[in-house]
Amino acid sequence: MFSYDSFLAGKIQQLKDAGSYRYFLEVNKSAQHFPHFYYLNNERVQRSAVNWCSNDYLCMSTHEEVIGKLSHTAYKSGTGSSGTRNISGTTIYHKELETTLARWHKKEAALLFNGAYAANVTTLQTLAKNIPGLIFISDEHNHASIIEGMRGCKNEKKIFRHNDTVHLEEILQSIPADHPKLIVFESVYSMSGTISPVKEIAALAKQFNALTYIDEVHGVGLYGDTGAGILERGDLQTEIDIVNGTLSKAIGVFGGYIAASSVVIDFVRSYGSGFIFTTSLPPAICSAANKSIQLIQQNAGWRNEFHRNVLLLRRALQENDVVFNQNDSHITAVPVKDANRCRQVANELLEKQGVYLQPINFPTVPVGEECLRIIITARHQPKHINHLAHSLNKILNGHNQAYRTELPAIGTPIGEGEE
Ligand SMILES: Cc1ncc(COP(=O)(O)O)c(C=O)c1O
C-alpha cells in the first residue's frame, strides 16, 4: 500500500541531503531598533543581530506615520474587511489606494490583490484563458509567481534568454503577425539584480503588436522622481501595458496590485478567479499603504540615501575582498555556489558575528548559483556596513584583518536619473 507519510518524508529528506531544506529563523522584529532584531539561539538564549535580508528597503514598515495610520484605521474600521470585493469587501480605503496606485503609475486604473504573487498568477492566467491562442513570451529569469501563472494554463510559452532583445525579436518574428502575444518580464530581477532593457522591449512589442506585462516588485519605491519605479525613471510609464507591484517591500505594508488601462483592469476584476473569490485586504492595510506611498512620493531624499548606502556597501565589500555580482541595481549577491556551504556560512555569520543573511538556495536560484543576497535599507549605517563586510571576509575568506571603522568619503549622492 502506498504510504503517504513515508513518500512525503522521503521528499523532505531529498531537500536535506541537497542542503536546500528551509530552516526559518524566528525573528522578533523591532520597529524601534531596526535593522537590529532579537532571536532565540539553539540554547534558547536571547540574542540580537543585524538584519541584512529584509525587503523593507525604505524602512516604511517602521515609520511612525504609517503605523499610526494603520492603528487609527483599524480602530475606526476593525481588523478585517470580512468580505470579497464584491460582497462588502470594497471599502473607501480600497478605492483610495487604487486611485493612488493608478496615478502613481500613470495608468487609468489599478486593482488590489493579497500579494504581487497572487496578482501575477491571476492576471496572467485570466488573460491567457480568455484571449484565444494567446502566446506567452517570457524572460528566462522571471519570478516563480510568473512561471506559476503561465504554468496554470495550456497556452504556448516561449522563453527568451535573459534580457536578450535579439532573441526576443527572433521569437516575435517566428509568430504569425495576427497571433495574440504577451511579453512578460521584470524591471529589476530579484536575485541577480539585473535591470531589463525596457525601452527596447517596449519598441519590439509595438512593432509586433504584443501586449506587455512588467513585474516592478523590486523597482517600486526605489527608482524614479516619485519612486514609481524603473518605468518612471526611464519615462516609459505609458509604453508598457500592465504593471505589477507589491505593497510589501519598499512600501512596507502588505498586498500587491496591477495598474493598467480601465478596460484591462475591468476585465481582470470581472474574470479573475484569484481576485474574485478571496477576502479583500483589510481596510487598515490599504490606508497604511496609501500613507506610505504618499510619504515615498514626497521624500526623494530617502531614495538618494538608500542608493548612497548601496554604494557604501559595495565599496566596503571591495575593500574587504568580498566578491559580489556586478549590476546596476540595489541587489547585491555574494556567490557561494554550494548549498551546504551557503547554509554553513550563514549559520556562522549569525552565531559568531550577529549578521543575519538568509542563504538563497534552490529552487529560488538554480543549483550551483547559491548565494548570500544582501539587502541594504535606508537605516543601515556605516558601522553596520563595515561590520558586515569585515564579517563576510572573515567567514568566507578566512581572513581576520583589522576592523575598519571608516570608509573613504564617497562622491555626491546618486541622482534619480543617473543610475
Ligand atoms: C519579482 C517578484 N515578483 C513577485 C513577488 C511576490 O510578491 P508578494 O510578496 O507581494 O506576493 C516577489 C516576492 O518576493 C518577487 O520577488
Which DSSP string corresponds to 316-346?
Answer: HHHHTT------SSS-EEEE---HHHHHHHH
Give long-range contacts, CB 8 A cutoff, 24+ apart: 381-387. 382/312, 382/406, 382/407, 384/35, 384/50, 385/309, 385/312, 385/313, 385/316, 386/316, 387/50, 387/353, 387/355
**Low-confidence residues in the chain, pLDDT < 70:** 399-419
> Cα–Cα–Cα angle for 67, 286, 85, nearest 5°?
150
Name the percent of the chain in helix, strand, coil, to the closest 5: 40, 15, 45
Phi-psi label, residue 337: left if phi above 0, alpha if psi -120 to 50, beta otherwise: left
241 CA distance to ligand 1 middle (Å): 19
Q: Which three cell numbers stand for residue 368?
A: 550551483
117 CA distance to ligand 1 middle (Å): 5
* Residue nearest ligand 1's atom 16 by CA: 190
116 CA distance to ligand 1 middle (Å): 5
Q: Is the peptide bond before 132 cis (omega within 30 degrees of 0)?
A: no
Q: Which helix (H) or strand (E) holds 360?
A: strand 359-360
Packing angle of the helix pair 116-130, 262-271 (nearest 10 deg): 90
pLDDT computed for residue 404 by the predictor:
39
Q: Which residues line ligand 1 (CB under 6 A)?
A: 115-117, 120, 143, 145, 186, 190, 215, 217-218, 246, 248, 256
User: Which residue type sits at 390?
Assistant: H
Atom of ligand 1 nearest to the CA of 189: 1
In angstroms, the CA 243 to CA 265 distance is 11
Closest to 58 in 3D by CA, of 332, 348, 303, 417: 303
Q: Are 137 and 130 in contact (CB under 8 A)?
A: no
pLDDT computed for residue 403 by the predictor:
42
120 CA distance to ligand 1 middle (Å): 9
In the chain the first and final C-alpha atoms are separated, in Å, by 60
pLDDT computed for residue 417 by the predictor:
26
Query: Which residue out of 249, 337, 352, 383 is catalytically annotated?
Result: 249
| DSSP-based three-state secondary structure for 243 | strand
pLDDT computed for residue 400 by the predictor:
56
Give a three-class secondary structure readout of 78-144.
Answer: CCCCCCECCCCCCCHHHHHHHHHHHHHCCCCEEEEECCHHHHHHHHHHHHHHHCCCCEEEEECCCCH
Helices (H), 175-299: 198-207, 230-233, 262-271, 273-276, 283-298
- DSSP 8-state assignment for residue 409: P
107 flagged as catalytic: no
| Structural domains in the chain, sorted by start | 64-298 (3.40.640.10), 300-419 (3.90.1150.10)
Q: What is the dihedral of CA 86, 294, 231, 180, to 10 degrees?
A: 10
Q: Of the residues 101, 142, 145, 375, which should be mutated to test ligand 1's pocket, given the most ligand atoms within 8 Å of the CB?
A: 145
Atom of ligand 1 nearest to the CA of 55: 14
pLDDT computed for residue 399 by the predictor:
63
Strand order in the sheet with 355-356: 36-40, 46-51, 355-356
**What are 304-315's pLDDT values in tens digits?**
999 999 999 999
pLDDT computed for residue 105 by the predictor:
98
Q: Is the peptide bond before 363 cis (omega within 30 degrees of 0)?
A: yes
- Cα 298 to Cα 259, 272, 302: the distances in Å are 21, 34, 9
**What are 72-87's pLDDT values in tens digits?**
999 999 999 999 999 9
Atom of ligand 1 nearest to the CA of 256: 10
Backbone angles phi, psi at 136, to 5 degrees: -85, 135
Please name every residue paired with 17 in a beta bridge, in sequence order, or none if there are none. Answer: none
